[in-house]
Structure 1
Amino acid sequence: MDISNVMAFIAVATLLVISPGPNGFLIAKTVPVSGQKAGFSNVWGFVAAFYVHGTLSIFGISILLVQSSQAFFVFKMLGAFYLIWIGVKALVSAFKSSKPASKNVKEKVELTVSMRSAFMEGFITNVLNPKVSMFYLAAFPQFLPAHDSSINAYALVSAHSVVNLVWFSVMVVILSRVKSATNNAKFKRWLNSITGVIFIAFGSKLALMKNS
């Protein structure tokens, strides 16, 4: 695989990663409310989903998503409903009074659940996003020679994952630095309200997306 193709792919992947989307808003919602570790769990969920989409594209399974209007509709609606559900959950949290933990053991249990939930939020947000599959389906023929090995395809998925990991890790660190300044009930209520509306908008946009 030509190094120039790899660099071109990284440039395209970088533009995709840094463009505003559900991933960035999920990080912005998670870190001020749940902390740095939960934010990194979101990021690792993104990465895991990329490898799922990459594998499906490499083995030709994702093409069924594009060729079958019924499969595309079901897939995008699952993703749309999940984004809307995150938004509704954020709005509910905005109007729900928080209760302080009474015991250290309880705090540790809640933290463990938070890490698992944060990873799954990041994973499901991306694995149910047909745009990721469509990106790989469009990118692989452009940046890989015909009949190239799956190892090189996974190398491109890894490059995309590294760009994602670096960008959102920086975002997590920056947001965690200002967490103390934003760690108050009013700010969290405002943040959940804004991100809730945004996620509902993302979900609605995905639901209306047509299979091109």
Structure 2
Amino acid sequence: MLLQFMTAVGVLAVLTMVPGPDMAVVTRRAVASGWQDGLRTVGGITAGLLVWGVLAVAGLAAVLAASATAYTVVKLAGAVYLVLLGVQALRQSRRDRAQAPAAAVAPPRGNPWRTGLVSNVLNPKIAVFYTGLLPTLTPAGVPPHTGMALLVLVHTLLTAVWLGGYVLLLSKARAFFEKPAVRQGLDRVTGVVLIGFGLKVATTQP
């Protein structure tokens, strides 16, 4: 049982470290607004994972994963949200270029915790992940609901540690990222990445 659990933790750790929309959202917040807002964004993301975890344990996420209509609605809503975040970043890069080099750069709009929460809750791939993969990782001898709840908590903890550490690492180099040219470039890159993730989400199948 212990070996199965450690294997499950290893799989979740690898999946957590794969770059995705969460990392793009966190990068923009941490660099533009500081590590505090970056960590608040991480808090929203982990809260979103817990929401999906509760739905998965309750069986509701399985309904979403099995319903083409429900999946499509959530998928398109998430895609639109990511594209809007990307467009916001691109517009900010244009405003930064128009400002004097020494002018202060306005932080991204919106509550960072809510931004993290919404970007995660509107990601239906989490529902598929929790209902499709987690049951296969649950150690033998553990009740299915208990095993899934435990793995959801592990995944949430791994996400918080990974993204939280990433935010603190970015904060060490914030002086570099605050340079106007670097900020403009970062806004352009994160904007394109977020739009790309939005389009990817919109075209993926369950």
**Global fold match (TM > 0.5):** yes
Alignment of 1:15-164 (within 5 A): 15-97=14-96, 100=104, 117-144=111-138, 145=140, 148=143, 150-164=145-159
Residue in 1 that maps onto 2:171: 176
Give 2:166's aligned amino acid.
M
Cα offset, 1:22, TM superposition: 0.9
Q: Tell me the distance in 2 between the aligned counterparts of 1:177 and 1:59.
A: 41
| 1:33-54 alpha-carbon deviations (Å, 9 max, x no partner) | 1100011011111110111001
Q: Compared with structure 1, are the counterparts of its residues 34 and 65 closer, same or farther at alpha carbon in structure 2 (3 Å cutoff)?
A: same
Q: Compared with structure 1, are the counterparts of its residues 42 and 210 closer, same or farther at alpha carbon in structure 2 (3 Å cutoff)?
A: same
Runs of 4+ residues over 6 Å off in structure 1: none
| 1:54-110 alpha-carbon deviations (Å, 9 max, x no partner) | 111111101111221111110100110011010011011111146649xxxxxxxx9
Structure 1's unaligned 5+ residue stretches are: 102-109
Q: Compared with structure 1, are the counterparts of its residues 146 and 209 closer, same or farther at alpha carbon in structure 2 (3 Å cutoff)?
A: farther
RMSD: 2.2
In terms of mean alpha carbon deviation, does 22-31 or 142-151 score higher? 142-151
Cα offset, 1:138, TM superposition: 1.6
Q: Tell me the distance in 1 between the aligned counterparts of 2:28 and 2:104.
A: 20
Cα offset, 1:20, TM superposition: 1.5
Structure 2's unaligned 5+ residue stretches are: none
Cα offset, 1:139, TM superposition: 2.6
Instruction: State the SS of the aligned residue for 1:20.
Output: coil
Asked whether the equivalents of residues 87 and 195 of structure 2 are also in contact (C-alpha less than 8 Å), the reply is: yes
Residue in 1 that maps onto 2:205: 210
Cα offset, 1:186, TM superposition: 1.8
Give 2:60's aligned amino acid.
I
The answer as to 2:2 corresponding to 1:8 is: no
Cα offset, 1:146, TM superposition: 8.1
| 1:133-186 alpha-carbon deviations (Å, 9 max, x no partner) | 111112332123588163442221111011111111111111000001221222
Q: Tell me the distance in 1 between the aligned counterparts of 2:182 and 2:174.
A: 11
1:200 to 192, 195, 199: 195
Instruction: State the SS of the aligned residue for 1:150.
Output: helix
**Percent of aligned positions that are identical:** 28
Residue in 2 that maps onto 1:106: none
- What is the TM-score when the length of structure 1 is the normalising length? 0.86
Cα offset, 1:4, TM superposition: 2.4
Q: Tell me the distance in 1 between the aligned counterparts of 2:166 and 2:135.
A: 31
Aligned residues: 200
Give 1:62's aligned amino acid.
A
